[in-house]
Structure 1
Amino acid sequence: MSCPPTRRREEDRYECTICCESIEVSRIIWLDCGHGHCDECLREYVRFSVRQLFFRPAQCCRKDIRPGLLRHVLLNSSDEMIAYRKLLDEFQAPDRVYCANAKCGAFIPRALWHGKKASCRVCRVNTCINCNGRFHFTACKEPVYRNIYADKAFQKLRKMMGWQRCPRCRRVIEKNQGCNHMSCVCGCEFCYLCGRDYFSDHDCRSV
């Protein structure tokens, strides 16, 4: 006479932070912040972040999810994992350089910088990291891309229209609806009225 199978104990299951379903612990991926996502939710979350028009990494508690934590849900050789690694490297780079070849424009990681020369691994064109033009041995003349943010007329228009700058990447952002809690494409969240980081030094009563 065989005994009926025993039910799994409650402690062998965990509530996924995303779908809130009770999932077997063996399917839970534990993140750096201590929360756990089930493998299916985490896989779809990463795929969604890669497909966005403006990439933002998969996060939990405002911490980027490292590729190393995804090895159980995505193969290292998969297109999604390769794309996620590349986009995450670009997103986290403090100083970004893009290929001077107008037909390419690929992001050039710091590992491919040599002095003031950045070598594109896509089209093999060398870019000057100082002026963003094609690499040259002589002194830089003028930036290839005119810095509109430094233009006095633009600054006057920005102040007149009430546009705000992102405190991290300095992009100019216009709010056309919603609350004053802004989320920039660089990942920074700030207050539209005072222009400060929303979670660290935001102290105005604008919300």
Structure 2
Amino acid sequence: MACVDSFLQFNDESFALKLQLEEIEAQRELQSGKWTENNPPDFALAFDDFEAELKKALCLVEDLKFAHSIAKAVDSDAVAIKESMVEEAQSVQDRGFAISLNEDENLPSPDDTNTIDMSRFEAESVDWDHVLRATEASTFSNKSCSTVAGPSTLYTLRQKAVLEHLPQLKVECSVCGKSVHPHFTVRLMCSDVYCKPCLKSYFLRVAKDESLFPPKCHRRLIDISNIKADFSTEELTIYRAAELEFSSMDRVYCAEPECAKFVPMPQRTPDCASCKACGAGTCIHCKALAHNGGCIADGTRQSLLDFADEQGWKPCVGCGEMVFRSEGCDHMT
């Protein structure tokens, strides 16, 4: 029964190590940035070192499983081996007795022959017991660090913690309630855990519904960097455009009825907004399609016109700029 328990322990150890290796690979995929070949960042070196340690531990577990399988086979066949050796000893004794009868020699004592053979068997049995004890001593024990090839006590304690929480290695999404591996989840500032599909879906809903902007959970903002790697280029463009629109304090939309898209600040002049989607121009002041001449909805321009009228200024018939006569006749050419 002890051997069966050991195999179960080894299987749990192996599973825990493989999960940690998967977690390292998942974290590597989330990292971004470039660096020279011979000068990797600290986190890359840490991942490589930890991965090497885990692979060595995994190799050790597999070797121990193989050693225990041999010990288990020896233990389960011990009775058969003992019976075989007794039969062999009896055969040797019978053969020696028969030879002595033919040669008329002094007969050896059957008791002496049996004693010699059985003592040899007992010695060999002690050797097998030593093998079993040695393989059992090489298991991951948290009470002793006397193993020859086993891991250090510090690593053993870490593995014990992993094994104790093995059933909890899958966490529950706060939105859909599904149990998923930790590297497929995001833990937010409010401590809620979202699976990545749910968090991505939330951001895409925010891009369509301004009432959800900015994305929050328990009144804490959610940074898109938590899920950015899971967005396609098109999806990220859609969200960024919505983010720019919803955060704008001075919104202008394309006056073309079939378009009506938001026109961001870089596409505007003081009087006109140019829509890249359809190419139409929109008057900044009256929000209608762009038109020639000044706009009556331009409050600043209207104030200037009122002041000019008080001062006797007139618009130039050529360019429309305000002019006034300082000297000469009233005729303009």
TM-score under structure 2 normalisation?
0.35
Q: Distance in 1 between matches of 2:296 and 2:222?
A: 41
1:107 paired to 2:262: yes
Contact 1:30 1:37 in 2 (8 A): yes
Distance 2:283 2:220 in 1: 32
Q: What SS is found at the alignment partner of 1:114? A: coil
Partner amino acid, structure 2, of 1:5: D
Tell me by how many angstroms 1:60 deviates: 1.8
> How much identity, in percent, do the aligned residues show?
26
Q: Give the aligned partner of residue 59 of structure 2.
A: none
CA distance in 1, matches of 2:281, 2:240: 23
Match of 2:227 among 70, 84, 102: 70
Q: 2:212 aligns with which of 56, 59, 76?
A: 56
Structure 2: runs of 5+ lacking an equivalent: 1-5, 17-161, 299-333
Farther off after superposition, 24-33 or 87-96:
24-33
Amino acid at match of 2:238: A
Task: Give the aligned length.
Answer: 140
**One-letter code of the match for 1:131?**
C
1:5 to 12, 23, 35: 12
Q: Is the 8 A contact 2:171 2:181 kept in 1?
A: yes
Cα deviation for residue 113 of structure 1 reads 1.8
Matches of 2:172 and 2:283, distance apart in 1: 50
CA apart distance, 1:39: 0.8
AA partner of residue 239 (structure 2): Y
In structure 2, distance between residues paired with 1:67 and 1:51: 16
SS at match of 2:287: coil
1:190 paired residue number: none
Please tell me the root mean square deviation across aligned C-alpha atoms, in Å. Answer: 3.3
Q: 1:118 to 1:51 in 2, by over 3 A?
A: closer
Number of the residue aligned with 1:140: 295
| Structure 1 CA distance for aligned equivalents of residues 265 and 221 of structure 2 | 20
Per the alignment, residue 205 of structure 1 pairs with none
**Corresponding residue SS for 1:99:** coil
Q: Residue type matched to 1:73 in 2?
A: D
Counterpart pick for 2:246 among 73, 88, 91: 91
The alpha-carbon deviation at position 104 of structure 1 amounts to 1.9
Change (3 A) 1:40 1:27: same
Give 1:82's aligned amino acid: T
From 172, 175, 182, the equivalent of 1:18 is 175
Q: What does residue range 145-160 of structure 1 map to in structure 2 within 5 Å? A: none
Tell me the distance in 1 between the aligned counterparts of 2:268 and 2:193. 37
Q: Which residue of 1 aligns with 2:157?
A: none
Supply the distance in 2 between the matched residues of 1:125 and 1:62 (Cα, whole angstroms).
Answer: 40
**Unmatched segments (≥5 aa) in structure 1:** 144-207
Change (3 A) 1:127 1:89: same
- CA offset at residue 70 of structure 1? 2.4
Q: Among 42, 47, 57, which residue is 2:199 paired with? A: 42
Task: Tell me the SS of whatever aligns to 2:229.
Answer: coil
Q: For the residues of structure 2 that align with 1:55 and 1:141, how far apart are their CA atoms?
A: 34
Deviation per CA, 1:77-121: give whole Å up to 9, x if none: 14x333222222222222210012233211101222222321111
When you count strand as a share of all residues, which structure comes out higher?
Answer: 1
8 A Cα contact 1:55 1:87, kept in partner: no
Task: Specify the SS of the correspondent of 2:201.
Answer: helix
> What is the distance in 1 between the residues matched to 2:189 and 2:249?
22
Which structure carries more helix by proportion?
2
Aligned to 2:45: none
CA contact (8 A) 2:171 2:182 kept: yes
Paired residue type of 2:279: R
Q: Which moved more, 1:97-106 or 1:80-89?
A: 80-89
Instruction: Please give the alpha-carbon distance, in whole angstroms, between the structure 1 residues aligned to 2:220 and 2:169.
Output: 26
